[in-house]
Each structure stands twice: as structure tokens, then as C-alpha cells.
Amino acid sequence: MPFAELHHSNIYYEIEGHGPPLVFAHGAGGNHMSWWQQVPEFAGNYTCVVFDHPSFGQSTWSSDVDESIHYGDVAAGLLDHLGIDSCGFIAQSMGGWTAMGLVERAPEKVAALVLASTHGGVSTPAIDVHLDARNESLSVTRDAWVKRAADSFNPALGERALREQPSIHYLYSEISALNPDSGQAAAARRRWGGRSAEMARGIDVPTMIISGQEDIVIPPAALEELHGLIPNSRLERVPEAGHSVYFERPAAFNRLLKDFLDENYPGG
């Protein structure tokens, strides 16, 4: 099995396809398998790289890893290991923190950026007020799901996904269950890193922000604020979709991604 032995972590990854590299960074409810509806779609024109963040899937931190190492450092190290000088970087939820860390540390490695259902750790008063407003209801929804209470649903997708696509809702949870215990994932949050408005304003690569209009984890209004900060960005709103547009509405997600890449990072 392919592992990249970095100085701070041991990263499991998979590569499919040919052409310019596309790197997919999963969210906190997933791992490299989360992109099963994207890799077959894009591998004909791109070299698709999926990986497990440390503390997810099969990837682990080194025992003596320094506290200053964030997921952006992991992404940069993986790209160096694979000899990738520049790529299209596709980030979902937690993966957005990774993407922002990569742009901050090695901007030359990102030719086109997609931030799906994520503000990437960017904090401003306007973004924070939208995040704070959802905290109580999101906590209740998460607690109900952990307890598998009647009529509960995984907030990483949403009530509509459970009602209309129960098999997809089930598969998402099964993929997530392959990760180590949730305590490790929670502890890894200190590795995400925070970002300032100034950092977001300094992003100068083509950027697409995708928002599920029924997302209860990252409110669409927060992503509208992020869009206002990043100069060369577009905001795409997907109706009848929750927090995991790529998983719930793959046809819509893939169409948006293809159009964006065709314009800004064409395949082979």
C-alpha cells in the first residue's frame, strides 16, 4: 500500500488517472474513500490524488511530531513527496483548513482552488456571527445522531439526504466509521490552524466556493462572507444540498468542478 513517510507523519494516499494533478482533501467525517464519485469522473483527464489526513483512515502522526505542524504542512509534504510542483486542490469542510494552510505555506503549489462547504478557518466578525448562530442547534443535532435518537440524521449530510437518499446517508456513515475513534479526530483539530481576513484577501489563484443551501454545519451566509474576501473567487450555491454536496449531489458538484477546471486548470 502506498504511504508517504514524511518527517511528521505517515500518509496513506492513492493515485488514479493521468494528466495535470488534482488533489482531494476530505472533511472530518471522511477519508480518502469519500471521493468515490469524483475520482472516476476526473481520472480520464487528471491525475487524481486522494489521501487520509493524519488521525483519519490509515494515516498517522509521528510520535514526536511538533505542536506547530498543521495539516497545511502535511499537504505540502505530500506534494513534495509525490514530486507535484503545482496542482488543482479540491477541499471539503475540514480539508479547507488544509487548503488554506497549503496556500499560506506554499502558494506556488496551488494553481486552482476549490473550497466546498468550508470557510477554511478564516475568522472575521461577520463570518463568526453566522457560525455562532448555528452552534446550539448543531450541537443538539450532533448529540441526537451520536445517540441514534429517533428521526436523527448525520449533520454532515442532512435530513434531506436521510429522507431522499437513505443508502447514501448510510454509506457516508460507514466510510466515516473506518476512521480511528472520534477522540483522535477531535484531538487533531489543533492541527487545523486558523486564518485571518488578510490571508484570505491575499489569495490570488482562481477559487471556487461551493455552498449547499441546506448546510447546517457551515452556513451559506458564512461562505458569502468568505467569497467577499477572496478577490478572484466565485460562489456557487447548490439547492437541496446539505454539508456534503460532493457526496449528496455528485452530478451537480462534478459539473461545477468540471466547468471551473476547464476554465482555469484544463486537463490533459
Return all residues near 84 (Cβ < 8 A) that are at least 6 apart.
21, 23, 49, 109
One-letter-per-residue 3-state SS of 158-173: CHHHHHHCHHHHHHHH
Residue 6 has pLDDT above 70, yes or no: yes
| pLDDT value of position 187 | 58
Closest residue by Cα to residue 107 from 68, 81, 79: 79
Q: What is the mean pLDDT of residues 111-134?
A: 96
| pLDDT value of position 64 | 77
Residue type present at position 49: V
CA dihedral 156, 223, 232, 107 (to 10 degrees): -50
Return all residues near 18 (Cβ < 8 A) that are at least 6 apart.
43, 46, 47, 268
Between 11-15, 63-67, 250-254, the lowest mean confidence (pLDDT) is in: 63-67
- pLDDT bracket for residue 65 (50, 70, 90): confident
Do residues 93 and 27 lie in contact, with contact meaning Cβ atoms separated by under 8 Å? yes
DSSP code of residue 76: H
Tens digits of residue pLDDT in 207-266 = 999 999 999 999 999 999 999 999 989 999 999 999 999 999 999 999 999 999 999 999
Q: Which domains does the chain have, with CATH numbers?
A: 3-264 (3.40.50.1820)
- Three-state DSSP at 204 gives coil
Between 55-64, 81-90, 126-135, the lowest mean confidence (pLDDT) is in: 55-64
Check residue 11 and give left, alpha or beta (phi > 0: left; psi -120 to 50: alpha): beta
Cell 443508502 appears where? 167
| pLDDT value of position 232 | 86
Q: What is the mean pLDDT of residues 81-98?
A: 97
Residue 184 has pLDDT above 70, yes or no: no
